[in-house]
Amino acid sequence: MYSKEQFAKMLDSTLLRPQAVWADVVRLCDDARRMHFASVVVFPFWVSLAARRLEDTDVKTCTVIGFPFGANTRASKIFEARNAITHGATELDIVINIPALKSGELGIVQREMTELVSDVHMQGMTSDSKRTLIKIIIETAYLTDQEKIAASRIVQDSGADFIKTSTGTAPTGATVEDIRLIRNTIGSGMGIKAAGGIRTVEQALAMLNAGANRIGTSNAVQIAEEFDPDAFLAESRKRPSSPSEQRESTDN
């Protein structure tokens, strides 16, 4: 079981509501500093504000690129990424080209991802910024299982740090089944960020137990505050064992 500190450090506190204003972003950053989240995720417009607010803290500033469908041109995504880094972003959540992927244009998707990751890494090397962590959103809600596998392999080959399930704008978000499928596809060598529709501690823990390393949620403060490792450990001990566990107990 995770400690409260470990659990909080796996949460990305997200604010991607178009009606959010300056005060909402400030509150997001102040809460993240207090809770010691992994990052805050904001629109590119708010990156400078978030980076200033989080300066000299352990919370990273993350923004979205090609949001929400990834259907921008490769050149525009590269510009977005460079601009975000220049203004203080240290993590990028980049949306894969969903229409190209659905059209079977895997070569186009592969070239775009590889070039984006390479350019972002080079940008970090040639500026004062630290290395930028890259998460690629594949938007599982729109993909078949075979497309999820293909997208996961492309992201893995690109050199990105994480595969992220969802933007939070699709009809559905992260599922335990998708986390398991992605983890079985890529192995243990890279991260998985579960996002979209995660509103409770139970949901977050289910994603982590299935193989996720990071949780993206707009409900991060409530989830972190409600997480009680001792209570959840005690509750898990009370739950009835599965039939297979019962058989093992009988055999022993």
pLDDT at 168 over 90: yes
Mean of pLDDT values over 206-223: 98
Q: Is 24 a catalytic residue?
A: no
Which of 100, 51, 46 is CA-nearest to residue 73?
100
Among 93, 135, 148, 161, the active-site one is: 93
**pLDDT recorded at residue 233:** 77
Into how many domains does the chain fold? 1
When pLDDT is averaged across residues 82-105 and rounded to a whole number, the result is: 97
Q: Residue 110: is its pLDDT beyond 80?
A: yes
pLDDT at residue 129, as a whole number: 52
- The answer, yes or no, to whether residue 184 has pLDDT greater than 60, is yes
User: Buried (b) or exposed (e) across 53-75, using 16+ Cβ within 10 A?
Assistant: bbeeeebbbbbbbbbbbbebebe
- Element housing 130 (H / E): none
Spatial distance between the Cα atoms of 18 and 250, rounded to a whole number of angstroms: 56
pLDDT confidence tier of residue 240, bands split at 50, 70 and 90: low
**Does the pLDDT of residue 221 top 90, yes or no?**
yes
In angstroms, rounded to a whole number, what is the distance separating the alpha carbons of residues 93 and 34?
Answer: 23
Q: Which of 12, 161, 164, 178 is catalytic?
A: 164
Taken in order 31, 208, 186, 181, the sign of the CA dihedral is negative
For residues 165 and 138, is the Cβ–Cβ distance under 8 A?
A: yes
Is 130 a known active-site residue? no
Q: Positive or negative, the Cα torsion across 45, 196, 40, 78?
A: negative
15-59: per-residue pLDDT in tens?
A: 999 999 999 999 999 999 999 999 999 999 999 999 999 999 999
Range of the domain at 110: 4-251
Residue 58 annotated as catalytic = no
Here the CATH number for the domain that contains residue 51 is 3.20.20.70
**pLDDT over 80 (residue 245):** no
